[in-house]
Structure 1
Amino acid sequence: MRRVHSMSFGAEITSEGVRFALWAPTAREVRLVLDGIERPLKADGDGWYRHVSEDARAGSRYGYKIDGNLIVPDPASRFQPDDVHGLSLVVDPQSFEWSETSWKGRPWEEAVLYEVHVGTATPEGTYAGLMSKLARLRDLGITAIELMPIGEFPGRRNWGYDGVLPYAPDAAYGSPEDLKRLIERAHELGLMVFLDVVYNHFGPSGNYLHAYAKTFFTERHPTPWGAGINVDGEGSRVVRDFFIHNALYWLQEYHFDGLRFDAVHAITDDGKPHFIEELANRIRQAIPDRHVHLVLENEANQARWLNRDDRRRPKLHTAQWADDIHNSWHALLTGENEGYYEDYADKPLQHLGRALAEGFAYQGDPSPHKDGVIRGEPSGHLPPSAFVAFLQNHDQVGNRAFGERLSHLIPPERFALAHAIFLLSPQIPLLFMGEEWAASTPFQFFVDFENEPDLARAVRDGRRSEFWRFKAFTDPEMSQKIPDPTDRKTCENSRIDWSETERSPHREVLSQTRHLLDLRRTEIVPLLKSEYRGSHYKVSPESMLDVTWTFADDKLHLLANFGNNPMNGNIEENARVLWSSQGIDANGKSLQLPPWSGIVVKGQSA
């Protein structure tokens, strides 16, 4: 089977030749540069420049000369062998023959996500290197890998959020065919593959759209990265289609099973339908016959995008990253109260209880961190599977000054308690690479602007200035210890070491993760596939958390003591214990929980 997504953007091989298409509404002149030869292009009335060449073929190098002096790559380039400033490569997607033809994906309720940065997940830092680890992840109980953004970014090292060519899988990790082999192998093993995509901004180097398509951006909607993406003004139809086709391209041409949309709260749209709504509708209409899962990162906590139909299927988006769950856990476990943890530090256990029971902790409540701005919408009507829960991810680890993982910050017994509750709660769990064995390596912020020293200096200085408002870094000497994001060693230090799994204490943590994921598969997933009937939670003044989730036939009950004294608690008559901390005698209805301990049981619904 061969797969290709046909679109109006980029270079596409047709029966007449290779069709080139560039939207350049604010350029005065555009010439196609093809294998060293320039050809003038004629503009259509709507800002498009199109040309069909019989001389071009797969492997041809091309770019566009703008206004007589600037040669730029194709913004919809399918591959960039020479980085973001180089020429684009004509790719024939039909040259790759997929051997798997029956894969339709997996139900969302079965998802156990594993977030991966391709460049630091293996010694090789490539798609091929990651492919060699897939069987291990499958055997652990992972059912889906989620790749951090891979759209072409500057240099050889980057988290991916500085991408500027969103259709081109970055050449630092391998070829388009290598990426397809990775996905094909994952499907052979029964693993889904998700991709993190960025539609809210472009990186600081290699974005040439301002030179010929100024209307791609708008000053009406400023963002932390500059002018906003124009999804609601003049010319916005082409801009919206650029990103909608990008989503369809990854799902159809590469056969990804789902997408995670980065920071959609930074995409401002005053029109109707909202871009987020149209994006989901277009995808669902185009791919009705597969399990395709769409996940939001949305600081605004807008439950409206996550509603279900009368058959319990997502109307638009499948789920949202549950930052409230993470932030509550983190404040509770570490005691940290600076930055956005300020919103959770006053009563972390109450926030955690509400988030575990209802998805959002902030549901129309004022945010102290944002000077009282109201944040969120009611979410208690949504099933737990509408939320992706995590104790760690690339942001929450990598945006720390030194990239410490949670297991570096708290005692092992507290980490074990949180990990068990996290993996046995009914939200969809996401593990960050190496978390399953409490990896010793950090994950730090890194970039590669070797050929742009001024930008490198700005990023280095900006990184350190980010932490001046934190007490620990008011001392200039301390701020100088923050790893240099432009140094190659910062990236190398973030590369996980798989051999740790053979040594204590990592071996024992991995074994426990495997046990918990097996429990999740046999006990929690069947619940998620049944009708959800609501939840309730209680938090005692002595720091006891009591949460119950009710499904059609069974209830899931969590009881945990986060205080420093033993606490008495009760579980249902004849409830079956799925997991408990050491030291809990769960033989009867009444039990005593030692400090920082918990129990998860399953019982019949009334």
Structure 2
Amino acid sequence: MAASQEHITAATPRGSVLVDGGATFRFWAPAARSVHISFHGVFDHRPVPEEELVFRPETGDWTGFFAGVTAGTKYRFYVVGDGGEGFKRDPYARELELYGYPECDALVVDDRAYPWHDHGWTSPDFADLIVYQFHVGVFSATDAHGRDRRAHRTAKLLDAVQRVPYLADLGVTAVQPLPVVEFQGEWSLGYNGTDLFSPEMDYCVDPQALPPYLEAVNDLLAARGAGPLKHEELAGQANQLKAFVDVCHLYGIAVILDVVYNHAGGGLDPQSLDYVDFPADPGGHNNAYFSGAGWAGGRVFAFGRPQVREFLTDNALMFLTEHHADGLRFDEVSVIDAMGGWSFCQEMTGTLRDRVPSAALIAEYWAEHPWLAVQRPPAGMGFTIGYSDRLRTAVRDVLGAVAGGAHAYAKIFRLAEGLRRPDHLEASWQAYHCVENHDLVLDMDDHRAPRIARLADATDPRSWYARSRSRVATALLLTAPGVPMIFMGQEFLEDKLWSDSPGRTDRLIWWDGAFGADRHMADFLRFTRDLIGVRRALPALRGEGLNVFSVDERNRVLAFHRWVPGRGQDVVVVLTLSESTLRGYRLGLPLAGRWHEVFNSDYYDHCPNPIGAGNAGAVPADGPAMHGFGQSAELTVPANGLLVLRR
């Protein structure tokens, strides 16, 4: 006798869903001859007849309702097709059994069970985003005594959550972990996901090891006036990801999750969604979820199939609704486009904008016309923010040039080009900028671009040259138009390439250095924190107004004016990569009167710098017309330094 169709309608979601008295199951396997569900745990036999699901030919789904199913119930599907048969994990599973992957069950999850504390939380405006990117598995893990636990051990989401107060103090408004869904193996960058709805189990904590983590999370909650979690409320992988988001929100930090919809795998195992319905032609077009194309060792999704588009859109919606994520970073949208997914992107972004209008949808799109990622359909794909490499390339080119010495041609004009809003964007915040990221400074073939400190001085990343030039590079990122993104360790002058392997202890970011073991790293951390504070305090640094009004190649000086259109709130940023302090340097300023020096990067060298060069807090703009303005001021611009002046 086939499974009951009670509670089953055309709107029944795919996967498992708890309803009154049990749970519904819906599994897409259009070419299968039969699909059973098994709750037996050990699969050494075929499921019994009453566990056979009912086929719905109009959609290709198999459905059934089972009474008595509760949260935590284990299950797998058994699929019989023309090309073979075997067990399959639920592609929509919110959680997998913590042991034995990939030979493991899916778990029925109650997505309403986590007791959220973030009531009243509002995602930041796009223009206010300051993003911090990190990799969960190697980011941070300490024991009760503060000792580093990362060596040869994958760090956990509940380790990362303990750095949330640090990130809040740093001042970033959003975090962007690399992908956190299930992948093959114990460690990875995360871009080879196999079970896209399930948190990576190696990033999660076994219930038996949970007590110290529960205490730490509850301390973080209590510090924000929130009630404690119970053990069972933190025991599941889905709840641990939710707790990470929850705590971030309580500390004023948005969460942007990294999703990969251009491909799945490599390393798709026989129980994955690969050949989910055992087609007779396993090498051809009958593969339900995937096209015949490959990418990065995995399989490209079949973007033309409505059920595949629904699968990926449902995944995005799950993160934004069930997990309260504030946005998504979409990996290699260029590949989706090249593989026939243009209309899929339009369809998905339209759905996400309608359902969660506040969500930041960030596209990594490197095609010939990158602005098409953020233009609304029909001309564009409809994402809200798009990657731009203009500022990154300019900063890195100029740093490489000035590393040639005081008399090298600095190419300061490149910085002016990098500041300009990318073509065809309606707003500056639609451009996503960085000078370091997970791809660029990864210790892997075809990557290995130097981190900023080592690019600034390849011979000594702790020299004055490295420190001062790195301050200019980071300050330019944080005073430029657009959304800035900082990669883990950049905020405290980390100079090593990074690795996703916990076995590469030589590639872990050095927290002890930031917290005082290295004076220069600690000074740089204070510099970054204070500069982020300036960006957050001055609306002009997040506004649309930009006028690069001076490019002085001889003195390696760049000056630009920032303001809020219609409101003023004028700010001027002046930087030099001259190796000598410029005294009596005359510069035009937009308005007459007194201009306050609200930030001086030179202060942070041996902070507070006893011999720092500056302007005693303010300068009068009472000199002759200059640089297109009706007045000017005499400034002291510190060597390899950056000033922020406010009217």
Question: Shorter chain as normaliser: what TM range?
Answer: 0.7 to 0.9
The answer for the alignment partner of 2:30 in structure 1 is 25
Greater shift, 500-509 or 146-155, is seen at 500-509
The correspondence of residues 402-421 of structure 1 with structure 2, limited to 5 A, is: 405-410=451-456, 411-421=466-476
Taking the TM superposition and a 5 Å limit, the aligned residue runs for 1:413-492 are 413-439=468-494, 442-446=497-501, 489-490=503-504, 492=505
Paired with 1:99 and 1:228, the residues of 2 have a C-alpha distance of 38
Q: 1:212 aligns with which of 271, 276, 284?
A: 276
8 Å CA contact 1:353, 1:545 repeated in 2 = yes
Distance 1:587 1:179, change over 3 A: same
Residue 517 of structure 1, aligned match among 532, 536, 547: 532
Residue in 2 that maps onto 1:153:
183
Correspondence for 1:75: 91
CA distance in 2, matches of 1:166, 1:7: 20
Equivalences for 1:276-425 in 2 at 5 Å? 276-288=345-357, 291-300=358-367, 302-307=370-375, 316-334=382-400, 349-358=412-421, 360=422, 378-379=423-424, 381-398=425-442, 405-410=451-456, 411-425=466-480
- Summarize the Cα distance change of 1:555–1:400 in structure 2 as closer, same or farther, 3 Å threshold: farther
Q: Aligned Cα RMSD in Å?
A: 3.2
Counterpart code for 1:405: R
Secondary structure at 2:248 match in 1: helix
Report which of the two structures shows the higher radius of gyration computed on alpha carbons.
Answer: 2
1:276 and 1:600, CA in 2 relative to 1: closer, same or farther beyond 3 A?
Answer: farther
Q: Distance in 2 between matches of 1:26 and 1:347?
A: 62
Task: For residue 332 of structure 1, report the CA deviation from its aligned partner.
Answer: 2.2
Q: Is the 8 A contact 1:353 1:538 kept in 2?
A: no
Q: Tell me which residue corresponds to 1:458.
A: none
CA distance 1:440–1:196, shift in 2 (3 Å): same
Deviations 1:561-589 (A, max 9, x none): 34567775513044443334544557461
C-alpha distance in 1, partners of 2:163/2:118? 20
Q: Secondary structure at the match of 1:176?
A: helix
User: Residues 106 and 192 of structure 1 are in contact (CA less than 8 Å); yes or no, is this contact kept in structure 2?
Assistant: yes
Give the secondary-structure state (helix, strand or coil) at the position aligned to 1:8: coil
**Aligned match of 1:130:** 160
TM-score, normalised relative to structure 2:
0.72
Give CA-to-partner distance per residue, 1:438-485, whole Å, 9 cap, x none. Answer: 236541244xxxxxxxxxxxxxxxxxxxxxxxxxxxxxxxxxxxxxxx
1:251 CA drift (Å): 0.8
Preserved CA contact (<8 Å) 1:84 1:206: no
In 2: Cα distance, 1:162 partner to 1:495 partner? 22
SS in 2 for 1:601: strand
Match for 1:218: what amino acid?
S
Paired AA for residue 112 in structure 1: I
- Would the alpha carbon gap of residues 527 and 431 (structure 1) be closer, same or farther in structure 2, given more than 3 Å must change? closer
Q: Which amino acid aligns with 1:79?
A: E
Q: Per the alignment, do residues 317 and 537 of structure 1 end up closer, same or farther by CA in structure 2, a change over 3 Å counting?
A: farther
Aligned counterparts of 1:53 and 1:251: Cα–Cα separation in 2 = 28
Aligned positions of 1:63-212 closer than 5 A: 63-67=76-80, 69-80=85-96, 81-82=98-99, 83-123=101-141, 125-174=155-204, 175-206=237-268, 208-212=272-276
| CA distance in 2: counterparts of 1:577 and 1:169, whole angstroms | 47
Percent identity over the alignment is 24
Alignment of 1:221-232 (within 5 A): 223-225=295-297, 228-232=300-304
Q: Which ranges in structure 1 are unaligned for 5 or more consecutive residues?
A: 1-5, 338-345, 361-377, 447-487
- Which runs of structure 2 are paired with 1:225-240 in the superposition (5 Å)? 225=297, 228-232=300-304, 236-240=305-309
Contact preservation (8 Å) 1:7, 1:245: no
Partner in structure 2 of residue 474 of structure 1: none
The 3 A distance-change label for structure 1 pair 306 and 347 is farther
* Residue in structure 1 matched with residue 336 of structure 2 by the alignment: 267
Query: Which residue identity is paired with 2:163?
Result: K
In 2, distance between residues paired with 1:17 and 1:245? 22
Residue 34 of structure 1 and its aligned partner are, at CA, apart by: 2.1
Change (3 A) 1:55 1:493: farther
- Give, in whole Å, the separation in 2 of the partners of 1:172 and 1:96: 21
Judge conservation of contact 1:353–1:537 (CA < 8 Å) in 2: no
TM-score normalised to structure 1 length: 0.77
Shift of 1:201: 1.0
**Deviation at residue 12 of structure 1 after TM alignment:** 1.3
1:10 and 2:15 correspond: yes
Q: Which residue of 2 aligns with 1:601?
A: 645
Distance (whole Å) between structure 2 residues aligned to residue 390 and residue 508 of structure 1 = 21
Distance in 2 between residues matched to 1:40 and 1:154, nearest whole Å: 30
> What is the deviation of 1:106?
2.3
For residues 110 and 53 of structure 1, the distance between their equivalents in structure 2, rounded to whole angstroms, comes to 47
Gaps of 5+ in 2: 1-10, 143-154, 205-236, 278-286, 404-408, 457-465, 603-612, 621-632
SS at match of 1:190: coil
SS in 2 for 1:392: coil
Matches within 5 A, 1:533-552: 533=545, 535-536=547-548, 539-542=551-554, 543-552=556-565
Structure 1, residues 201-231: CA drift from partner, whole Å, max 9, x if none?
Answer: 1121135333136142224x66454653222
Aligned counterpart, 1:577: 597
Quickly say closer, same or farther: Cα 1:521–1:66, change in 2 above 3 A: same
Distance 2:420 2:586 in 1: 19
What letter corresponds to residue 62 of structure 2 in structure 1? Y
CA distance in 1, matches of 2:92, 2:110: 14
Q: Which residue of 2 aligns with 1:373?
A: none
Q: Partners in 2 of 1:63 and 1:348 — Cα distance?
A: 61
The whole-number CA distance in structure 2 between the counterparts of 1:336 and 1:57 is 64
Distance (whole Å) between structure 1 residues aligned to residue 300 and residue 410 of structure 2: 35
Task: Give yes or no for contact 2:267–2:298 (8 Å, CA) kept in 1.
Answer: no
Shift of 1:415: 0.6
Inter-partner Cα distance in structure 2 for 1:86 and 1:167: 15
Question: Aligned in 2, Cα 1:242/1:7: closer, same or farther, shift over 3 Å?
Answer: farther
